[in-house]
Each structure stands twice: as C-alpha cells, then as structure tokens.
Structure 1
Amino acid sequence: MKKVKRRATAALLIAALLVVGLAVYLVRLADDGGAWASYFSGGTPGGTILDRNGVVLYSSDEDGYSFAEDWSTRVSCYHLLGDPNGNVRTGALRQFRDRLAGYSFVEGATSGKTISLSVDSALNVTAYSALAGRSGAVMLMDYTTGEVLCMVSSPGDDPENPSSEPADGTYLNKCLSSSFTPGSVFKLVTLAAAIDNIPDLFERSLWCEGEMIVDGALLTCTGSHGSQTIEQALANSCNCAFGTLALELGPELMAEYAEKLGMTASLQLDGMDVLPGSFTKGEAGSVGLAWSGVGQYEDLVCPYAMLRYVSAIANGGSVYEPTLLGHGSLDRETELLSAETAQRIAEMMNYNVQNAYGSWVFPGLDVSAKTGTAEVGDGTSHAWMTGFLNDPAHPYAFVVILEHAGGGLANAGPVANTVLQAAVSGSAS
C-alpha cells in the first residue's frame, strides 16, 4: 500500500512539473516566439521595412536579406534598423521582428510582412552628413503626433559591408542608450521647478558677479551679468542665477522634477528601453547642489529624454509619447507640465533665439531653443542644442548633441539648423 502511495505521489509530482513546464513554455512562446522564428529562419526576420516615404530600408525573403541601395542611407539608418548580427540592440529589426516575420501566437510564423516607419530616411542622411564624422546624436519629432522623423547616432556603419574594426561607440544608439552631462540644457528643468515653486520668480532681480561662493566652494559663470530677470538669466545661461535657484529649491524638489520631467525616469520607445539619466542630490546648501541646477555636478541626461521634454513644452505641457511606427497614437499622451508653465518656458526659449543667439542661426524659421556647453572633466565640452519650431505646418522638436565638440551654439546650432531647414523645405539628403 505504501509503495502505491509513493508511486502515486511521484506521478502527481511529475504531472505538476509537466504542467509548470508547459506553462513556462507557453509564456516564453508568447513573448519570444517571433525571435525564435527569426532564429530558425537564419537570424534575420523576413519582411520589408520602409521609411515614411516608401523608401525600402530593409528587405528579406527565402533568398536572403538586403538593405537600402544607397550607402549613405544604410549608414545613417544603421542604429534605426540595427544590424543582422544583433550588435545594435535598439533597432527596428530587433524590436519589430514579430511583425516582420508575420508571427502571431496563434498562427506562428507566416510570410514576411511590410512595416512603415515614421522616419524620413532622407532626413537621417542630412543629419548624419551634418555631424560630419563627429560622435553624437540627432533626433527630430512631430510634437503634435509623437512621430519620430529623424533618429541618427554617429559613428554608424554599413550593415551590408560592416567594418572589420568599427570605431568606438559604433554599436551604441546614442539617441536611446547613452546619457551625457547636459550642461545648460538642464536649466530648462531647474526653470520648470522654479516657475512652479517660487511665487515671485518673475518679479525678482537675479544677481551675477561672474562667480559665487557656496559653502566655501566656488561656482563660476560665463560672464558677469549683473542684475537680470529670470528671462534674461536663461538667455545669458547664467550659472549664478540657476545655481541660486537650485539652492533655494533644495535637493528633494530638484530630484523630483528631474524624475517628473523624464530626465531620470525609466522610459521606452515602442517597447525599447531608454537609458535613464541620473541626478545626484547634493546636500542642501552645497556647491554640488548649485552645480547640479546648471547641468553639471553628476547630472546625466539621455538625448531621447530631453527631446521628449521639449516636445511637451512645445505642445502645451503634454507629450505624445514618441513612436517609430508610421503614425502617432494620440491616446498616448503624458502631462509633464501645466499649460501655463509650458507657455512661459516656450516664450523664454524663443527669447533666447531672438535676443541671445540671433535669428540668423535659423534663417527664415521661428525657433525656440536652449543650448548647452557641458564640461566633462577632460578639458572638453559636449555641445547641445534642443528646442522646437513655432510653426503649425511643421511642428518639429529636436535635440542635437556632439561629444567633445565645444560650444553648443557654435557646434550643435548649425547641425540643428541644417536638419530643420531640410525638414521644412522637404529638401533633405
């Protein structure tokens, strides 16, 4: 009798393990079936990827795969698509493989499908050319729909004829998978916190003597700006003014806004993880806290997060979550700012261009922008520019970063202008 019980118990245990194993298999099949289908078909998904204008970026069938005919298109879209060997982990080939393979949990893999991306490959070519061999990233999106129109990371590579010795950073999509010292573009975060939490901000006179002592340590500025309004302080990119505001706001509130506005949040683009930035809360009253308010100290920001934030500013405080697919999803809206705060920041960013940078930077365009020259500790600076067009017919937000390139206005500005002019005129490439 005891033997029968033991055998029955063993049989039940085996049955339970089989049920658990089957459940795990079904879950994995639902999650990874598309990847398995791609693997057993040679590692590259079947199907076709088009840009928004119908340009073939990738095609695969039983005879093999191919990328765009034009070399410059292949290289500039390298990180947008990814590569057959899987070196680039954030790209359409990897993220949309289920769609490309025609895979569904019920039917399995069928014939390859065609998907259209929101990106204009000609804009990618223009942006990559404007980077002129420098390491960096460029993104452009329609802030009224969330459609990403341009996504370029440099250096790139040719997926059909990959380099045997790729340059450092080739496999990294810097739009999504890198974070950088932001410098003065982070003042847009400090500004939002100050507008919301300092009632008399717009009546204040903010003083700058070119430097200030904070807790026995020195914080320096780019000039001696004297008495200035908050609008003038942003245009002057005054470290003393924004360091003072960060000290008044305090570490907890500064960290809260860095998270709320997406700088340190866990974000995604069509399911692809975006590298979060970081904000170290310097002690209250410390020079570290003051420097963090101007985008230095230990601040790090991903270009995608900054693009998403300025898109919200342009769109009245809410961002339509970005997408690479051929249409925006207007039900994916996230409020980052109040409409009043967004409008104030937008007006101040426009003041920057008109009164500090000069309208000649963007001839014929009405642009609101902020530059950043982010010191990175090796004697060089990252060049940033971010902003948007004030043009209902061309509602584009942008971010540009060039690593170790120098001043933001002098280096990122021309790249931003080149891409915006091409996007507006339709003369990209």
Structure 2
Amino acid sequence: MQLEQRIKRRHFLVLIMMTFIWIGLLARLWWIQLGAPHNYSRRGIDLVKGAVKQRQQSIVLHSGRGDILDRNGYAFTGAPHLALILFPLARNSLTGTDDLQQLADLVGQSSEYLGATMEKAKAPVLLRNQRGKLIVLTEEQTVQINKLAIPGVVALKVTERYRQEEVAKHLIGYIHQNPTLLQSLYAEELASGKMSKESTVGASGLERSFDRFLQGVEPSVLSYYVDGQGRPLRGLDIRYTKHENEYYPLSLTTTLDVSIQRRMESVADQVGLKEGSIVVLDAKSGDVLAMVSRPAYDQTKVNVQSRDWQNRAVKQIPPGSVFKTVVAAAALAEGVILPTDRFTCTGDYGKYHFSCWKKEGHGSVTLEEAYAQSCNIAFAEIAKLVGGEKIEEYAQRLGLSMQVGHTTSHLFKLDGFKQIDGEERGSVFAKDVSRRDEGVLIQTAIGQRDVRVTPLQAANLMVTILRGGQPGQVRLVSKIAYQNGQSFFQFPQQAISMPGIDYVTANKLRKMMRKVVTDGTGKLLNEANWEVAGKSGTAQTGGAGSSANHYWFVGYAPFDEPLYAISVVAENKASWGQNQAMEMFRRSVDELADHTARSSRLHVGNSPE
C-alpha cells in the first residue's frame, strides 16, 4: 500500500514537472514569435529581419553619404550613371527563354558572358565589361531593358562611391562595416535607431576624419524578394527605397585640383614608383593641391593587413640631407656662422665611421657651397657650432616636429578636429638621447639617426620659407556644404601659433636652394621646363643588412614667381642606379608647367573681350 502511494506521488511530481516544461516552452515560443521577434536574445538579434534576408537580396544604389569634391566641384566619390543590375536569385528567370539574347544585344555583350556573370554572382551585381569597368547605359537602352520585364533584371541610376579609375584614393579613404567602432562613436544613434549595426563608418582618409559630417540619409536600396523555391513574390518581387532630404547629406569641398592630382599620379606610375609619395601645395596658401601615395589600393577590396591603404605622404621617415635646411637656418638665424665662412672636407670625419658621400672630399667650401653639394663633413662641423638644442628648436619653428594639418579648436562638439587622417608628428632626437653627444649630433645634422619628417611637412617647409619664415597649417578641406549648396561650415587658412624664422634668413635659404640646382646635387633639374629650387636628400633606411635608401627632393617652382611647393620621395630604393626622386620631381614640374599654361589659355579664352 505504501509502495503504491509512493509511486503515485512520484508520477504526480513528474506530471507537474512536465507541465512546467511545456508552459516554459510555450512561453518561449510566444516570446520568439510575438513578444520580441525584432530583439531576440541579449545580442538583439532580429529574427524577422533574418528570416526576410534568407529570401531577399539587396544592392545599394547610393550610399546616402555626402560627396567629397575637388575645389571646382568634381566628385571623387562618384557620379550617377544608368546601369544594368542583375540579381542572382532570379537567374532561373532567363532559363528556356530568348530574353538572355535580347538583353545581351541591348547591352552589347555576348549572351555567354551575361550568363556566366549571372552564374558566378553570389550577390546582386552591376554589369561590367571584362576589364571590370561599369557598362554605362543610355536612356534608350534603359527603357528597352525595363520593357523586357525580366524578373531580377532592372536598369536604374546607380552611384558607385568608389571607381577603379578614380584618383586620390589614399586621401579620400574608404568605408566599412565595423560594429565595435560604431558603438564607440555612435552609441546614441544606435540606441535611438538612427543607425544600425550594418551601418558603414569611415575607416581612413577624409571618410574617417569627416565621418560624422558625411554620415547622411539612409542608403537608397533596391531589393528583390523570392519565395522558398526562388520564384518572385507577386507584388513584392522588387522594391526601391530612396530617401531624399533638402539639407543632407552634407558634402566636402577639398582644396584638391583633380587635374593636378591626375597628372601627379601619372608621374608616379610613369617612373614606376612602388613605394613613396608626391605632395603638391599651393606656394602661397599652403593648401593641398595634390597628394599621391604608392602602392595603390582598391577602395572596394581593402586588405587591412597589407597597409597599402595608408597614406605615405603623412608618415614619418628619415629625410636625409633635406634636414640640412634646418641646420643652415639655425646657423644663419643665430649668427653662428657667416655665409662666407669656410669648412674643409677631406671625405672622412675621422671617427664614428662618419664620412662624406664624396669619398675624396669637397675640399674647402662655404656654407652655401656645402649646402649645394650636400657635404656631410661641413654640416657636421656646423651642427657642433649650432648645438643640438638650437637645431631642435628650429625644426619646431619650421614645422618639422609637429602635425601641420589644419586643426579646428572646436567644431560641433569635436575638440581639436583634425582634417588630415593618420598624420604623424616629426622628430629630431629620441626621448632620452643627449643633445650634446657629438656622435648623435653629427648624424642628426644630415637627417639620420632619430630624425623623422613626413613628406607633407617637407613640402610645408618650402611654403614656410617662401612665405618669409612663418609656418602655417596645411588645409585639405575648405568648406562643408548642405545638399542645397548653402554653407554649413568654412575652414579659414591658419598660421601655426609659434615664431618661425626671420625674413632675411628665409631669403638666404631660397638663394641656397637655387644653387643646389644650378651648381649642386640637383643639376638634373636644369632640364625642367621651369627654373626650380630645392634640396635633395638620401636617407639610409636603417634596416639590418639593408642597402636600401629613401630618395628625396623637396623644392618649389617656378623660382622667380613660385606657384607650387613640391615634395617627392621614393622609398626603399636600391643604393645604386638612377635617382628616382630627381626624375619624379622633374616630371612633376613639367606637368605643373603644362597644366598652368593650359589653364591660363583657357582663362584667356573665356574672358570677355
């Protein structure tokens, strides 16, 4: 009897447990389907959205971000074109019909190529030719294609943010999806629903530094829906969502000149530049007119680990003898030596394994001659007279040990807003190194050891000297504008708030830089279409067992009435063979001379008679 009661009690307890389990399961199912299908689990998974995605493929026709323009309104971030859009989920729509051939005839491609494109596609694609270039349609082609009414095939206006043939890619940068970065930068927007985890964010260049301003309206999206068997859902097969706003997205007007940018990129490719940069600044304002970095990269397929996307023009490297400009400026400004003072170079310093590049020596030379011939021994002696503290001070005065890109103290809740992404500071001495150590000092004098300068700072050094000695900030963006063209914010030209060098010293440096070309290491540049002035530099890379050098030339043109300050660097080149930097500088000057002449003729031709 007691055994039966125990068995009945156990069965009762099991029944109660099973009842609670079923209640729990039913509650869970209710919660999934009705209670929180859009915010399931702690990670906020949207089950409804996920289910729809399994039957939907979408393509972005416009990112919704603001455009990045050159100084004359040219859009680096794309222009709208009519294009053919193919949805792979609808590839079965063409089977057993003559639609494929009709479509092929309309777009001027073979039916085999079109079929292969559809077959390979795992996501919606824009039709491109076999070289990867977008096939741009006419209005007539668009109308005829859409009349075919092929499910999953449509012709519409598309704006590609990045084009393979575009220039200034390192300056423009790229965007990507990064939920972690989004959370740190846009927590409020994510919480309010204005942004989602699928939103893109600027990863480099202007896309990154101006991301908060370029973030605009929701993307314009074309979506194609099918059922479980891949058949079009009636009334829901294609949907186009487009958001328009009178004021947003904002656009950036840069100081770049797309014509000069194209010419400089052509120069880099003509000389076969694999690693290095070209910077062209307006000689009067210091604004960036062009900035080239190599190696090149694809903004749509970025390999972050390769670092090809990084802008080498704003990364610090040893400047070599370009730094002798700072030593000469300090010596002249402080009155330590006179231009007529002489130094003797026998080719060898006598200790520290320090020698001149000219093994037999330069003999007796003045400061001007030593600078033109880039004599290491003379500048070692000059550096000892000037002293490490003063060399460091004048590097600061000339803007070589700071970020020189335009900074706005306060811009809409952003303090210390910097225009140029990834710009590094320069340096002269390492933190704990003695400024009075002779071995350190003589290596510093020739731009080696711990000296680091960016190509942008070097170009700005030329502007500073041309300006009479006062350093200024380098501007890359001149204004932000609303969608309707009204001004949102303007960036004024700004000086660096510290003393530079005096006008007399700056004028002496200009004459010395001219002598580099007429009588010194830059004689090759006498073949340029303009008279130029500047300073050459060769810096050892410092790698163990490495015989590679960084080759520099920094200067301005034309000499009498300077229009452009130019810095070119060929990095990690063999220590023998042609000086690639010198050739690159000469070609850059010739291109700038041609550009200026053509612009002048165009201006005259358009002027009223």
**Bin of the TM-score, shorter chain as denominator length:** 0.7 to 0.9
Which of 52, 58, 64 matches 2:77? Answer: 58
| Distance change >3 Å, CA 205–CA 53, structure 1 → 2 | same
Give the SS at the match of 1:403.
Answer: strand
Alignment-derived partner of residue 293 in structure 2? 153
C-alpha contact 1:142 1:149 (8 A) present in aligned 2: yes
Using the alignment, how far apart are the partners of 1:380 and 1:200 within structure 2? 34
Shift of 1:285: 4.8
Which ranges of structure 2 fall in alignment gaps of 5 or more residues?
1-59, 81-156, 178-200, 218-244, 408-417, 480-490, 599-609
Using the alignment, how far apart are the partners of 2:160 and 2:61 within structure 1? 14
Residue type of the partner of 1:366?
E
TM-score, length-scaled by structure 2: 0.56
Using the alignment, how far apart are the partners of 2:578 and 2:566 within structure 1? 14
1:364 matched to 2:383? The reply is no
Using the alignment, how far apart are the partners of 1:45 and 1:243 within structure 2? 57
Which of 198, 203, 221 matches 2:356? Answer: 221
Where in structure 2 are the equivalents of 1:205-220 lying within 5 Å? 205-213=342-350, 216-220=351-355
Alignment-derived partner of residue 128 in structure 1? 265
Shift of 1:51: 1.5
400-409 or 383-392: which moved more? 400-409
Shift of 1:391: 5.5
Shift of 1:128: 2.6
323-332 or 115-124: which moved more? 323-332
| CA shift digits 1:338-384 (9 cap, x unpaired) | 11111000110011111122265452212111010111231110011
C-alpha contact 1:383 1:409 (8 A) present in aligned 2: no
Using the alignment, how far apart are the partners of 1:268 and 1:294 within structure 2? 25
Larger Rg: 2
| Distance change >3 Å, CA 268–CA 52, structure 1 → 2 | closer
Which ranges of structure 1 fall in alignment gaps of 5 or more residues?
1-40
| CA shift digits 1:59-81 (9 cap, x unpaired) | 499x9852365x332xx411110
C-alpha contact 2:78 2:159 (8 A) present in aligned 1: yes
| CA shift digits 1:121-178 (9 cap, x unpaired) | 2332332332224111111010212221001111121223x25x578431211112x1
| CA shift digits 1:98-119 (9 cap, x unpaired) | 443469xxxx995213332111
Which of 213, 234, 250 matches 1:113? Answer: 250
C-alpha contact 2:529 2:593 (8 A) present in aligned 1: no
Where in structure 2 are the equivalents of 1:277-288 lying within 5 Å? 277-280=426-429, 281-288=433-440
Residue type of the partner of 2:210?
F
Using the alignment, how far apart are the partners of 1:248 and 1:43 within structure 2? 62
Alignment-derived partner of residue 67 in structure 2? 48
TM-score, length-scaled by structure 1: 0.78
| Distance change >3 Å, CA 320–CA 362, structure 1 → 2 | farther
Alignment-derived partner of residue 587 in structure 2? 418
Residue type of the partner of 1:365?
W
Using the alignment, how far apart are the partners of 2:582 and 2:375 within structure 1? 19
| Distance change >3 Å, CA 45–CA 387, structure 1 → 2 | farther
Q: How many residues align?
A: 375
Which of 380, 389, 398 matches 2:557? Answer: 389
1:301 matched to 2:465? The reply is no
Alignment-derived partner of residue 169 in structure 1? 307
Which of 317, 322, 346 matches 2:474? Answer: 322
Shift of 1:423: 2.1
Using the alignment, how far apart are the partners of 2:337 and 2:478 within structure 1? 45
Where in structure 2 are the equivalents of 1:231-380 lying within 5 Å? 231-270=368-407, 271=418, 272=420, 274-280=423-429, 281-326=433-478, 329-332=492-495, 336-356=500-520, 357-358=522-523, 360-377=525-542, 378-380=546-548
- Aligned-residue sequence identity (percent) comes to 25
Using the alignment, how far apart are the partners of 2:293 and 2:202 within structure 1? 11
Give the SS at the match of 1:212.
Answer: coil
| CA shift digits 1:182-219 (9 cap, x unpaired) | 11001111111111123432131111000112xx4231
Q: Taking CA–CA contacts closer than 8 Å with sequence separation of 6 or more, which of the two structures ends up with the larger relative contact order?
A: 1
